[in-house]
Amino acid sequence: MISLKICVVGYVTRETEIWSGGERRSIVGGAAYFVSYALANLGVKPRLVTRVGSEVLDVLDELKSMGIEVVNLGGNTMMCNLIYKTLSEREIEVISAPQPFKPSDIEYCGYSDIIYLGPQTATDMGMEVILWASRLSNVVILDVQGFTRRLIGKRIEYVDWEWKYRAAPYIHGLKVDHREGKMLTGSLEPLSILRKLSEIGFKEMVLTTDSGVYLCMDGLELYAPYRIERVVGRTGRGDTAVAAYIYSKIAELTPYEAVKFIAAATSIKLSMHGPLQASAEDVWRLAKAL
């Protein structure tokens, strides 16, 4: 087990996947849930700082049983519908919104080797939260997805992250998917997205696409494809990629090793519903084939 102190900040949610054919499936979601769960299976036991109500206390007990230290600040549980038009295109309907995180909430992380921030919507965290995290850790990793989601009534509208230039100097690692990358940079091509994000000031980037993972690290721009016959569990793809990226930082992988490890972990996740159910050894076996 890796003993560095990792703190995950974000929500555990209740969600319903609704597919075009009428299929419905109730799931546990939230970036913080998928990241914490994946890290624990990879041998990293993080501290989770979250805000949830009684609807997901059973899930918190499950995470605790895996060796994850959970700090629940209380509040509303985020509940939403994920309405899939296609495998990669979905709408989000928010049934219940959570309370935002305050800068003082980040103090529950304490001084950490890595702090991960996983907002779900644009109002979940502000610049002050990022600044506070940067005081408690030299490595702040952000999944940008929430900052590109503005809540209008009950529907999510996708927007640019307006204060990205101010935040970039304090973010060591940024995770984006292809749509978010286009939103932030105006570029369509993945390598162009990475270069423009670097120009904004981000140091390292993980970019997930429908075919594989791009990684910008140590001045290198690398790609590794997924190895999977059929996508079963799309929800949590990016969260699994960022968990594998965090693992690569802790394990001090080279960029070439890291991109393969991230793609392999994400491939395993896509082949199943729910969070990553694989050890680091399982992921390495697949990574060596990429």
The pLDDT of residue 2 is 63
Q: What pLDDT shows up at residue 82?
A: 86
* Residue whose entry in the numeric block shows the structure tokens 């981000």: 202
Tell me how crowded residue 106 is: count the other CB atoms within 10 A of its CB.
Answer: 27
- Whole-number pLDDT of residue 3: 64
Tell me the mean pLDDT in the region 148-163: 93
Reference 263, options 230, 235, 289; nearest CA is 289
In order of 24, 87, 91, 179, 270, the CA distances from 20 in angstroms are: 9, 10, 11, 20, 19
Indicate whether 89 pLDDT > 80.
no
Q: What is the pLDDT of residue 230?
A: 86
Neighbouring-strand partners of residue 220: 217
What's the CATH number for 6-287? 3.40.1190.20
Mean of all residue pLDDT scores within the chain: 94
Above pLDDT 70, what percent of the chain?
Answer: 98
pTM of the model: 0.95
31-40: pLDDT as tens digits? 999 999 999 9
User: What is the per-residue pLDDT for 290?
Assistant: 80
Tens-digit pLDDT profile for residues 241-284: 999 999 999 999 999 999 999 999 999 999 998 999 999 999 99
Beta-sheet strands, E only, within the chain: 6-10, 13-18, 24-29, 47-50, 69-72, 79-84, 90-96, 114-118, 140-143, 149-152, 155-158, 173-177, 204-208, 212-217, 220-225
Q: What are the extents of the domains in the chain?
A: 6-287
What is the pLDDT confidence band of residue 110, given thresholds at 50, 70 and 90?
very high
pLDDT band at 47 (very low <50, low <70, confident <90, very high): very high
Provide the angle, in degrees to the nearest 10, between the axes of the packed helices 31-41 and 57-65: 20
Instruction: Take residue 133 and report the two structure tokens written for it.
Output: 């995290």
User: Which residue's structure tokens are 């990293």?
Assistant: 44
**Confidence label for 231 from pLDDT (cuts 50, 70 and 90):** confident
